[in-house]
Structure 1
Amino acid sequence: MSNVADAVFAHAFSEPDRVAVRASGREVGFGALRDAAASVAARALRAGVAPGDRVLLVAPSIPEFVAAYYGLHAAGATLITVNVMATTPEIAYVVEDADVSLVVAWHETAGAAEKASAAHGLPFWSLPPLDEWDVSDRVKAPVDLPDDATALIIYTSGTTGRPKGAQLPISAIAGIVDAAEHVLEFDEDDRTGTALPLFHVFGQIMVMHLAISFGTVVSLLHPFDPRKLVEMIRDDELTIVSGVPTMWIAVLHAAGDATPEDFSRLRLATSGGASLPVEVIGAFEEKFGTRIREGYGLSETCGWATSAPLGAEPKVGAVGRAIHGVDLEIRDLDGSPVPTGEVGEVWIRGPIVMTGYWNRPEANADVLRDGWLRTGDLGTLDEDGDLRIVDRLKDLIIRGGYNVYPSEVEEVLYAHPDIVEAAVVGVADARYGEEVGAVVVLRDGAVLQPGALRAWAKERLSAYKVPRLFHVVDALPKGPSGKILKRALDRDALVGTGVAAGAR
């Protein structure tokens, strides 16, 4: 029996004054974090939240997120976290799909969540600043749950259908902590930090939860500002910092005349979400005195599966080896292992793998096979077991570390009265890794007004999902069955298209 919030209570008992979270000049000790979380748990239990009930949390990367997160876990809830940029329809979809019983949101970004909860007749809690919380009524300890109880449902666009909720049990999250103990060599003097969003599995589990689990302080930055992140690494004397390629590129430009001596305690920088250019890795090492180590993982594996060993020189272009307790195989389309060095689909097995997608038996039968997870990614393994990601089996776009599912965007575009056909694709972009591009066919006589179209789409999609590049064609290429052939689209025609002007 266990609970994701156990570490908060344990560290608060042994070292209540030890700093747990830093953000915007604020410091929250483990004792204060425990009290705040325990008050949330008490309120949730009074409200009738039962173990396994799904609760939606919408908040930025701030101490209030951390306190609410562990408080809801302490009550035994299954937590769902979504982007603060999510629109009312996007939140409503998750609320309906997961049969959510309570919605909790940070007061400054609560509009869409409050509307979605009201539309479904659900109770809604607005989170005020932490110093306004009433912590007089608190639970003494987290609710004990079976190790296989679902702690999180992380909605991931994946590559087919509407977003699916990956169910992550307590045991899988514990498996990440166990692997980190073997791989990352945490000690009590470490100081971690990030500007990653905590709603995402990378920031939530791989940064926040690992820091809390090992009793180390985590510094949070919201919103992302490259200059402020450089200052946070220096001023908070971070030893571990995590981000995605777009962040590292921006940080390098913001570092100015800084030297490695300014970041003397930094021992580890980690990157995920997309491939990191070789030039960026070299420039970061020269400026910050440490080499960025790339890793690989999915929402379905709690955000982690491979990592470059600390004692070995990371290989450029590789994302490391299977972490402790995890097995990797490269298989062909028939599910048979391929020889070393050959390209195939990445399969993963281990305690970190999800138990399945929420209410998606057909999808589960497709991706979960005898304890193995089919990732949908193409890669190779070399003789040392280092993984290289070659491509994606499907059309998932990764823009600045965020997954963008083309069909979801296409579905919205098709609802526009002037659009007859639409195909959404990723276009290489120096800043974001990939940019979202849309090739569209208009009804006769219609004229595309990009500003109005973007504003229209932004009401229905998170900002990072809205296409920045548009190209109008007379017809989309199709196969014999009438299926649109995205591989036949001219992506070069999207680059620098006039309709994208000023779209950042």
Structure 2
Amino acid sequence: MLKSLQGFFADFNKKADRNPDRIFAKFNGEALTFATLNKQSATFAAELRRKGVQRGDRVAVMMRNSRLSLALLFGIARSGAIWVPVNTHQKGEGLRYILDHSKPRLLVCDQELLPSVVDCHAGIRSEAVVTVGQPYDRRSLETVLQKELAFADVRIEADDLFAIMYTSGTTGRPKGVLVTHGMLRLAGEAARILTAMKPGDVFFVWEPLFHIGGAQLITLPIIEDVTLAMVDRFSASSFWSQVRDAGATHIHYLGGILQILLKKPESDLDRQHLVRIAWGGGCPMDVWPKFRDRFGVEMRECYGMTEASSITTCNIEGVVGSVGKPMPWYTVDVVDERGNRIAPGSRGEIVVRSLLEGSLFKGYLDNQEATDKALVGGVLHTGDSGTLDIEGNLWLHGRITDSVRCKGENVSAWEVEHVAAGHPAVEDCAMIGVTADIGEQDIKLFVKAKKGKTIEPEHLSGWLAERLASYQNPRYIEVVGEFERTPSQRIMKHLLPTDLNNCWDRMATQQSTPA
């Protein structure tokens, strides 16, 4: 086990000096060497100083993956500034909150996203904005990186802040997780264990770097002789051709990515690739063997959160449906509402203890209440529901808060959604709780139909009644054309409407049926 946390940037410099022509990453096939990345990141660090950004200042970045992304992040890191990644889908009040809450000294923003920044009325000055996507503008990032400026790196310790990463969450305001340089390095070390990576491997990177699942990958070419094959965004239609062209040995998944890929028509090319391992989080038990057998890859499931250096447990033993066992620097327990450990097989809250100082986050930015709720006596209370089996494998049941209290029973959204997703006409679904006429809450289910299929709510309700307990069967069903999603394709439940104007009501149907 690691005895102490390390940062990642000192090792980057050593590798860039030792092997400058080695390829760090390719973006849409265009190679980026250690030497080029070293030069460009030094130039951006110098530009940050010229603009008054000092060590400890925050630099917000709202841009999609591009050939400039890595130079930008490494420039921020070597300057001692703190990266504030901003989801490119943010707009309005949500965007204003993040920008005003994080108080960045500078904002780097894709030109096409600038209207969203202006319209949200955040308190950031126009002269503090650097745009991306205007190569002939003297103020643009492209113009800046064409220079070659020297920069004397500041000394970075593992405990220094690398980023403030805002969790998307499903309810309430996003929380800014304080992520250190050591935590990001540890995420890379965890990925090394999970993926069994070796020299010469190629990691396909579709996930945006503003998500921890993407950010954790930037350390991999530093700690091992692997290459990142980056693309600007996820595309189901292009995914496997991009993977083949890159010679990728590893693919990463989150959210509904696997299901989306499985929905594509089967092809003789399904196994025409070099991928050994598909790794990530959120693979349903029934999807696991389907994806493995169709595409001929080994599945490596994990569990974690930004607050615990991204990866807490990993399944390298192939126990289908489990998220595996703790990383060597963590212990994982399942506890009851009083914080007492419960027996194997019993469901409770997942809590994480660290065996390595600094592997858990320091807290949430300017949110002591949320910090105190998450970190109790140095133990991370995840808010996730889980079970430990007698072999020590962890089984994840979803968020504790992602449930509805209905007819005196706690109804897990995962349980209802998992059943509803099995209906032959349902492509995707999401469950929320709404205010009940009498009692606690009623269940409202949103469903999206598969292409060429039609969903009749009354029929679906009857179908669910045969597969769910009576208290689990949704009272309300609303058919939608599409869901709003996070970059990792998770449904943004907090945006789903709680009104009952456009939905089918099972109780109203029953009341109108003649005796």
| Superposed pair shares fold, TM > 0.5 | yes
CA deviations 1:87-130 (Å, max 9, x no partner) are 14322211211222111112333332355587432601112468
How many residue pairs match? The answer is 433
Conservation of the 8 A alpha-carbon contact between 1:114 and 1:124 = no
Q: 1:56 Cα shift? A: 0.5
Relative to structure 1, the CA distance from residue 491 to residue 248 in structure 2 (aligned partners, 3 Å threshold; closer, same or farther) is: farther
Relative to structure 1, the CA distance from residue 191 to residue 51 in structure 2 (aligned partners, 3 Å threshold; closer, same or farther) is: same
Q: 1:222 Cα shift? A: 2.5
Task: Say if 2:228 is the partner of 1:218.
Answer: yes
Which residue identity lines up with residue 155 of structure 1 in the other structure? Y
Q: 1:148 aligns with which of 152, 159, 163?
A: 159
Query: What secondary structure, in the 3-state scheme, does the structure 2 residue paired with 1:227 have?
Result: coil
Which residue identity lines up with residue 228 of structure 2 in the other structure? V
Query: What secondary structure, in the 3-state scheme, does the structure 1 residue paired with 2:237 have?
Result: helix
Q: 1:269 aligns with which of 278, 287, 301?
A: 278
Unpaired runs of 5+ residues, structure 2, are 136-140, 404-412, 418-429, 435-440, 451-478, 508-515
Which residue number in structure 2 is paired with residue 253 of structure 1? 263
Task: Say if 2:497 is the partner of 1:473.
Answer: no
The residue correspondences of 1:239-250 to structure 2 (distance < 5 A) are 239-250=249-260
The residue correspondences of 1:146-295 to structure 2 (distance < 5 A) are 146-158=157-169, 161-205=172-216, 207-254=217-264, 256-259=266-269, 261-263=271-273, 265-272=274-281, 274-278=282-286, 280-295=287-302
Q: 1:135 Cα shift? A: 4.3
With 103-112 and 319-328 compared, the bigger mean Cα shift is at 103-112
Q: 1:423 Cα shift? A: 10
With 53-62 and 160-169 compared, the bigger mean Cα shift is at 160-169
Which residue number in structure 2 is paired with residue 357 of structure 1? 364
CA deviations 1:411-441 (Å, max 9, x no partner) are xxxxxxxxxxx9997747688xxxxxxxxxx
Q: 1:73 Cα shift? A: 1.3
Which residue number in structure 2 is paired with residue 136 of structure 1? 147
Mapped partners of 2:309, 2:448: distance in 1: 27
Mapped partners of 2:341, 2:312: distance in 1: 18
Higher Cα Rg, which structure:
2
**Alignment TM-score, normalising by the size of structure 2:** 0.74
Relative to structure 1, the CA distance from residue 182 to residue 464 in structure 2 (aligned partners, 3 Å threshold; closer, same or farther) is: closer
Relative to structure 1, the CA distance from residue 470 to residue 174 in structure 2 (aligned partners, 3 Å threshold; closer, same or farther) is: closer
Which residue number in structure 2 is paired with residue 105 of structure 1? 109
Task: Say if 2:25 is the partner of 1:21.
Answer: yes
Query: What secondary structure, in the 3-state scheme, does the structure 1 residue paired with 2:178 have?
Result: strand
| RMSD, aligned α-carbons | 3.8
**Alignment TM-score, normalising by the size of structure 1:** 0.76
Q: 1:469 Cα shift? A: 6.5
Relative to structure 1, the CA distance from residue 159 to residue 468 in structure 2 (aligned partners, 3 Å threshold; closer, same or farther) is: closer
Task: Say if 2:304 is the partner of 1:300.
Answer: no
Relative to structure 1, the CA distance from residue 430 to residue 381 in structure 2 (aligned partners, 3 Å threshold; closer, same or farther) is: farther
Conservation of the 8 A alpha-carbon contact between 2:190 and 2:311 = no
Q: 1:367 aligns with which of 368, 374, 386?
A: 374
Relative to structure 1, the CA distance from residue 2 to residue 216 in structure 2 (aligned partners, 3 Å threshold; closer, same or farther) is: same
Which residue number in structure 1 is paired with residue 465 of structure 2? none
CA deviations 1:377-397 (Å, max 9, x no partner) are 110111222111123211389
Mapped partners of 1:220, 1:286: distance in 2: 26
Q: 1:14 Cα shift? A: 2.0
Which residue number in structure 2 is paired with residue 419 of structure 1? none
Unpaired runs of 5+ residues, structure 1, are 411-421, 432-449, 475-488, 494-504
Mapped partners of 2:390, 2:143: distance in 1: 56
Q: 1:338 aligns with which of 334, 339, 342?
A: 342
Which residue identity lines up with residue 35 of structure 2 in the other structure? G
Mapped partners of 1:199, 1:70: distance in 2: 14
Work out the percentage of aligned pairs sharing the same amino acid. Answer: 24
